[in-house]
Amino acid sequence: MDISSLTGISQASNPFSSSSAEAANVLYSGASFEELLKRTQAAQAQSSTSFLPPKAAPIDKNNELYETCVELETFLLKTMVKSMRSTVQKTKLIDTGFAGEMYEDMLYDEYAKSLAKNANFGFAEMAYKDLARYL
C-alpha cells in the first residue's frame, strides 16, 4: 500500500518525489558553491521580507524607564529565588522567629539585586525595548 494514497497527498505535491529531485539537479548542476552563494545573496537582496529583526536603538541605562525595568527584573528574580527556597526543607534546630524571617527576606532582596546586576538574564532589556516604543 502506498503512503501517499493513505494521506491524500499526490505525487506531484510531494517535495521528495523524483521530479523534485530531478528539478533540483537540473537547477544546481554544474554550479559551484560561489555561484550558489551569489544566487542566494541576490535572492535575499531582492526579497522584500527579511528574516532578521531590525536593529534596535541602543539602551540608555541612565533612563528612568530602564531603572524601572531593572526593578521589575529584580522583583521577578526575588520571586523566583523565594519560591526556590521554599522547596528546601528547613530544620527545627534553630528557631529563627520573626527576625529570622525578616533577615531571610532581606537576603533574598540582595540576591535578586545581585542577580539582576550581574547575571544578565535580559528581562530588563527586553521590557525596556518593548516599552520604549511607546515613549
Measured CA to CA, the distance from residue 111 to residue 85 in angstroms comes to 12
pLDDT tens for 103-130 read: 888 988 998 999 888 888 889 999 998 9
pLDDT at 79: 92
pLDDT at 100: 84
pLDDT tens for 57-99 read: 678 888 899 999 999 999 999 999 989 988 988 877 777 788 8
pLDDT at 28: 60
DSSP 80: H
Distances (CA, A) of 81 to 27, 71, 85, 126: 57, 15, 6, 20
pLDDT at 69: 92
pLDDT at 21: 56
pTM: 0.54
What's the chain's average pLDDT?
Answer: 76
Under 8 Å between Cβ of 108 and 76: no
Measured CA to CA, the distance from residue 109 to residue 118 in angstroms comes to 14
